[in-house]
């Protein structure tokens, strides 16, 4: 049975339970098994040697997630070439591809955790009550060590973009 963290985040003020461990800076990033474009499996290992900004969001089809993902897409072009931004949600890969096409989002990789919630339970971002991922940002260095973590306390609010981007720049320069 996975660990549960009651009240770890709120959704519009309502306390929610996160399933899985709380990831801490300095630990090895857990591997995960999600689904990418064309229903292809994707794992952490596929991004070895890159700095990863991994964002989790409830759904691209909501205003806050839409704005956050567009912002990270804009920021992606300003980051060093070895930084990869991954956005993971429970949206189906077809919906992610449709949204990216409509939004002109082409510099980040969208991945879906709908099949097994392996990312959500491995990184402690799965909201038990909604079976959606909470809004979180992890920066993982080239050696797959976590260098930055933000579990956004109120899921309806944006993450700290500047802090995450700075952590990624530092990891890329190391």
Q: What pLDDT score was predicted for residue 15? A: 97
Q: What pLDDT score was predicted for residue 2? A: 79
The set of catalytic residues is 65
Question: Could you give the C-alpha distances from 120 to 4, 39, 164, 166, in angstroms and in order?
Answer: 12, 18, 19, 24
* Mean pLDDT to the nearest integer, 7-24: 96
What are 90-105's pLDDT values in tens digits?
Answer: 999 999 999 999 999 9
What is the side-by-side strand order in the sheet with 109-112?
Answer: 41-43, 33-35, 109-112, 83-89, 51-56, 136-140, 146-151
CATH classification of 27-119+133-173, choosing from 2.40.10.10, 3.40.50.720, 3.90.1200.10, 3.40.30.10?
A: 3.40.30.10
Q: Is the pLDDT of residue 76 over 80?
A: yes
Q: What pLDDT score was predicted for residue 126? A: 98
What are 112-134's pLDDT values in tens digits?
Answer: 999 999 999 999 999 999 999 99
Residue entry with tokens 């806050």:
64
Domain-by-domain residue ranges, the chain? 27-119+133-173
Q: What is the mean pLDDT of the chain?
A: 96
Q: How many CB atoms lie within 10 A of CB 94?
A: 12
Handedness of CA 136, 54, 129, 24 (dihedral sign): negative
Of 48, 50, 110, nearest in space to 84 by CA: 50
**Burial letters 38-47, b for 16+ CB under 10 A, else e:** eeeebebeeb
By the 8 A CB rule, do 39 and 74 touch? no
The pair of three-digit structure tokens given for residue 161, joined into one six-digit string:
């973009």
By the 8 A CB rule, do 143 and 51 touch? no
By the 8 A CB rule, do 150 and 136 touch? yes
Counting residues of the chain whose pLDDT is more than 70, the rounded percentage is 99
Q: Is the pLDDT of residue 1 over 90?
A: no
């Amino acid at each position: 049975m996975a660990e549960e963290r009651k009240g770890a985040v709120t959704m519009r003020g309502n306390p929610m339970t996160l399933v899985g461990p709380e990831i801490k800076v300095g630990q090895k990033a857990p591997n995960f098994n999600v689904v990418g474009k064309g229903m292809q499996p994707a794992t952490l290992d596929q991004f070895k040697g890159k700095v990863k900004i991994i964002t989790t969001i409830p759904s691209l089809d909501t205003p806050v997630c839409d704005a956050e993902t567009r912002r990270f897409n804009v920021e992606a072009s300003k980051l060093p070439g070895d930084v990869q931004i991954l956005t993971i949600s429970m949206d189906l890969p077809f919906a992610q591809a449709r949204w990216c096409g409509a939004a002109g989002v082409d510099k980040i990789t969208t991945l879906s955790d709908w099949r097994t919630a392996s990312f959500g339970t491995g990184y402690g971002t799965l909201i038990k009550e909604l079976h959606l991922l909470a809004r979180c940002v992890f920066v993982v260095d080239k050696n797959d060590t976590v260098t930055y973590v933000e579990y956004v306390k109120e899921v309806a609010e944006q993450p700290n973009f500047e802090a995450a981007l700075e952590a990624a720049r530092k990891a890329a320069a190391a």
